[in-house]
A = this chain, B = another copy of it.
Amino acid sequence: MTPKTKEQIAKIRTRSKDKILMAALDLFAKKGYHNTSVSAIARHAGISKGLIYNYYDSKEELLKGVIEMLMEDSSEFFLATQKEDPNEALRSLFVLLKNYLIEKRGLYRLAVSLSVQEEVGKFEFLKDIIEEKFQGFLTVFESLMTKKGVKNAKGEALLLGALFDGISLQYTFSEKYPLEEVIDFLIEKYCK
């Protein structure tokens, strides 16, 4: 009865969706959401425009798909924070940040470029997600700082939060940013 098995179809769908998501991520990150056309995504993915609408109802839904994909695997970060020794935990976080920036270049760029827009109600959901993540990090930083016994743990936590974002932004911006050097210095300064 069934000409293609459900598994076959599912595999095809997954593969196509992935192609689309990767192409979209790539272009959104490089050129920004508004400056990326659906045609360009299709071309980049090597498929037809129409197919995109087979999987996503609109360009905006596609964006949501991209963001969801990106949000999936941030578990590592919170694993790192479970370490007993706060110095070790911080060292892990710094290294994770470095690897994350290197491996997912463009992702941070995308997050920033989307958040930076004020269109009410359209990317609002993204702001919420980021705000939540940020508060999570802040809490972790503060408890680590408390463990380390610093005077103003909350203030230090805020600075660390700003540092993470500042480093990410500058690395994303400039090809020449001395990421390794900065991370090493952070470890030396914070982890002993």
Give the interface of A toward B (CB within 8 A). Answer: 30-32, 34-35, 109, 112-113, 115-119, 127, 130-131, 134, 152, 155-156, 158-159, 161-167, 169-170, 172-174, 178, 181-182, 185-186, 188-189
**Is the CB–CB distance between A170 and B161 below 8 Å?**
yes
What 5 A-B pairs come out closest when comparing CB atoms?
Answer: A166-B166, A162-B166, A155-B185, A34-B34, A165-B166
CB distance from A145 to the nearest CB of B (A): 12
B115 & A30 in contact (Cβ 8 Å cutoff): no
Considering only CB atoms, which chain B residue lies closest to A116 in the complex?
B113
Q: Is the interface of A mostly helix, strand, loop or mixed?
A: helix
A170–B174 CB distance below 8 A: no
Enumerate chain B residues within 8 angstroms of A162, measured Cβ to Cβ: 162-163, 166-167, 169-170, 182
| Distance in angstroms between the alpha carbons of A31 and B159 in the assembled complex | 28
A117-B31 contact, Cβ under 8 Å, with A155-B181, A155-B182, A159-B186: yes
A166 → chain B, closest Cβ, in Å? 3
Residue of B nearest to A27 (CB): B118
Copies of this polypeptide in the complex: 4
Smallest distance from the beta carbon of A113 to chain B beta carbons, Å? Answer: 4
Query: Given B109, B118, B163, B172, which contacts A163 in the complex, CB threshold below 8 Å?
Result: B163
Task: Determine if A165 and B155 form an interchain contact, defined as CB atoms under 8 angstroms apart.
Answer: no
Q: Which residues of B contact A156 (CB under 8 A)?
A: 185
Cβ contacts under 8 Å, A159 to chain B = 163, 182, 185-186, 189
B181 touches A158 (CB 8 A): yes
| Bound-complex Cα distance A162 to B182 (A) | 10
Instruction: Please measure, in the bound complex, the distance between the C-alpha atom of A186 and the C-alpha atom of B156, giving whole angstroms.
Output: 9
Of all chain B residues, which has the CB nearest A111? B116
CB-nearest residue of chain B to A160: B166
A127-B170 Cα distance, complex, nearest whole Å: 11
Known: A112-B169, A169-B169. 13 other contacts (CB 8 A): A31-B117, A131-B174, A134-B170, A152-B185, A152-B188, A155-B185, A155-B189, A158-B185, A159-B185, A162-B163, A163-B163, A163-B166, A165-B165
